[in-house]
Structures are given as structure tokens and as C-alpha cells.
């Protein structure tokens, strides 16, 4: 997916949020915003949003001298989601169609800004999200491709969310699938890294790799030109690819191979690109 002009104010808004997580010094925050605006003057809109976002967040980290501005938010997200895990497991266990429920919960995990919410609100949000209507028209195709697949490449998105993915990974393991779970090699926004995936115990269910291994900065979504050779080989050879979140969608929406995208639409431009609406839970093959 290309970048749109609407992404410019959004990049700047996110830069301010990130700068404020890193420092209370308004002079430094101002410097971040000014340098980001300077950078955005030189970009091409043909790049995908995660490509540009990678550079924007490199500026934020450099100016604020902070390796991982989202560290606290990410830890809170993991902690909160870990507490929810037994409830999620019960929901899957009690469901008539455990695979479908695990898919839905994995998508629901993409909606919640865990770091910013208390336990009570997260409980409510999960209950509401589970009740929410969900276009499952791609589910028969998902099941059919899954049945014929031995190897599955699973691209992760955020911390916290990875605990929701775990339920789906368990369903896949139950069906004797070999899974490669892809995270980022460096901290970028609230995306999961190897450390997070290990914390969630995903190493017991899948082979965890950092898809952009060797890169000095990670993008908040898979960009094939930044991908490791290892990733590109698995991406090509895997029987099935599952991709979580907007960032991975933005990076992979135009690739030639079939990908099952699972995400919550958070941005009107993604909504337009994927022919849906902001707030919708999406399972779509493209």
C-alpha cells in the first residue's frame, strides 16, 4: 500500500506521542517534531507507510536518546494480556468452533491499546469484541488452505496481542502444522520482538524468527526490501501465510502470493484499501 498525504499529520501526531513517552522536555519534543517534518519534506509517497515510519521513529529515538520509547507501554501490554490469557483460553475451549474463536480472538488482540487501559476496561472490550459481528466469509477458504498446508508463516504485530495469537497457534499445532512466527529484530513502536514472543511462551509452539534480521532499524510492518534472506525463503516456500495487523498489511497488500490478513481497521486509508470500515475485524485473503 502506498503512503497518502493523510499519513503526514498522522506521522507527526505519533512522533509527538512517542517523544512524550521518551522525555518531558518540551524543547526535545519540539526538536523531534521539527526534524520529522524536515524528513517528511524529502520523502516519496510511493513508499509504504511502514517504510516511512521506520525512518520517522529512528529520528525520534535519536533525538530523544531513547532506545525504546514504548518499552513501558509494551511491558504493560504484555502484563495485561497475560492476565487475560486464562479467560481467552476458556472462551476458545467453550466454543463450538474453537478454530474460528481463536481466529477472532487473535484479531481482537489487535484492537486493544492494552497499555492505556485498566483491567476492567480490557475485560469489557474483549466481551464486546467477541460479541461483535465479524465477516467470516473468508473462513471456509482459510480452513481449506489450512487443511492442505504443512508449513505456516505467521507474521506477528504487537506486544500484548501476541498472547491472543498464542491461542490460534495452539489450534494450528493441534492440527500438526509447523509454524514460523515472525517478529521484529529491533524495537519499533509497540511491535513484538523475540524477547516478547519468548515471554509469551510462543517458542514452545513455533519457530520464532526476526524477519528483518540484520537491519539496524525495524519497520512497524513487513517491508520485503528490508527482509532477511531467511524470511524471504520461508515467505516463498510456506504453504500458508497469516499476517497480523495494519503495518504488515500496508507492507504486503501488493505481493503476488496469497496472504491471509487478520487485523482491526484503525485508519480510514487502510479501510478504503481493504474495502472495509474503521473498527471492523478483518479476515481476508489477498
Point out which residues bind a second copy (CB under 8 A). Answer: 5-6, 8-10, 12-13, 16, 26, 29-30, 33-34, 37-38, 40-41, 45
Residue placing its CB nearer to a second copy in the complex, 11 or 70? 11
When the beta carbons of 9 and 86 are compared against a second copy, the nearer one is 9
- Alpha-carbon distance of 152 to 144, in angstroms, equals 13
Of the two residues 41 and 137, which places its CB atom closer to a second copy in the complex?
41
What are the beta bridge partners of residue 181? 154, 208
Cα dist. 30→17, 34, 35, 37, 76 in Å? 12, 6, 9, 11, 27
| Sheet of 151-155, strands arranged across | 207-210, 178-183, 151-155, 240-244, 260-264, 281-285
Q: Which CB sits closer to a second copy, 38 or 93?
A: 38
Query: Taking the complex as a whole, how short is the minimal distance between the CB of residue 26 and a second copy, in angstroms?
Result: 7
Minimum gap (Å) between residue 54 Cβ and a second copy = 19
| Beta bridge pairs of residue 183 | 210
| Residue (12 or 136) nearer to a second copy, CB | 12
CB of 110 to a second copy, least distance (A): 24
Distance of closest approach, residue 218 Cβ to a second copy, in angstroms: 24
Rg (CA), the chain: 18
- CB nearer to a second copy: give 11 or 235: 11
Q: Which residue is associated with the grid cell 501490554? A: 77
Which phi and psi angles does 85 have, rounded to 5°?
-55, -45
> Of 5 and 229, which CB lies nearer to a second copy in the complex structure?
5
Which cell goes with 147? 487443511
Q: Which residues contact 256 (CB under 8 A, 6 or more apart)?
A: none
What is the spatial distance between Cα 8 and Cα 11, in angstroms, rounded to a whole number?
5
Tell me how far apart the 2 most distant CA atoms of the chain are, in Å. 57
Angle between helices 71-93 and 161-174 (to 10 degrees): 40
Q: Tell me how far, at minimum, the Cβ of 263 lies from a second copy, in Å.
A: 24
DSSP conformational letter for 48: -
State which residue, 37 or 278, has the beta carbon closest to a second copy. Answer: 37
* Cβ atoms of residues 198 and 171 within 8 Å: no
Amino acid at each position: 500500500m502506498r503512503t497518502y498525504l493523510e499519513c503526514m499529520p498522522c506521522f507527526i501526531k505519533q512522533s509527538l506521542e512517542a517523544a512524550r513517552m521518551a522525555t518531558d522536555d518540551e524543547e526535545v519534543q519540539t526538536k523531534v517534531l521539527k526534524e520529522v517534518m524536515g524528513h517528511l519534506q524529502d520523502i516519496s509517497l510511493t513508499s509504504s507507510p511502514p517504510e516511512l515510519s521506520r525512518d520517522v521513529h529512528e529520528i525520534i529515538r535519536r533525538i530523544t536518546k531513547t532506545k525504546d520509547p514504548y518499552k513501558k507501554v509494551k511491558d504493560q501490554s504484555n502484563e495485561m494480556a497475560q492476565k487475560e490469557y486464562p479467560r481467552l483460553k476458556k472462551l476458545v475451549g467453550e466454543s463450538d468452533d474453537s478454530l474460528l474463536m481463536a481466529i477472532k480472538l487473535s484479531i481482537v488482540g489487535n484492537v486493544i491499546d492494552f497499555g492505556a487501559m485498566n483491567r476492567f476496561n480490557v475485560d469489557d472490550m474483549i466481551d464486546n469484541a467477541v460479541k461483535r459481528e465479524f465477516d467470516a466469509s473468508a473462513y471456509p477458504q482459510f480452513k481449506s488452505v489450512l487443511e492442505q498446508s504443512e508449513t505456516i508463516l505467521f507474521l506477528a504485530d504487537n506486544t500484548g496481542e501476541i498472547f491472543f495469537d498464542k491461542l490460534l497457534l495452539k489450534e494450528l499445532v493441534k492440527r500438526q502444522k509447523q509454524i514460523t512466527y515472525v517478529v521484529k529484530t529491533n524495537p519499533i513502536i509497540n511491535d513484538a520482538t523475540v524477547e516478547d514472543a519468548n515471554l509469551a511462551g510462543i517458542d514452545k509452539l513455533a519457530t520464532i524468527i526476526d524477519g528483518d534480521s540484520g537491519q539496524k532499524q525495524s519497520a512497524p510492518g513487513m517491508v520485503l526490501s528490508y527482509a532477511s534472506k531467511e524470511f524471504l525463503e520461508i515467505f516463498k516456500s510456506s504453504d500458508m501465510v497469516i499476517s497480523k495487523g495494519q503495518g504488515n498489511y500496508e507492507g504486503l497488500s501488493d505481493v503476488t502470493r496469497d496472504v491471509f490478513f487478520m487485523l482491526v481497521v484503525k485508519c480510514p486509508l487502510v479501510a478504503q484499501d481493504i474495502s472495509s470500515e474503521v473498527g471492523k475485524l478483518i479476515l481476508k485473503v489477498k
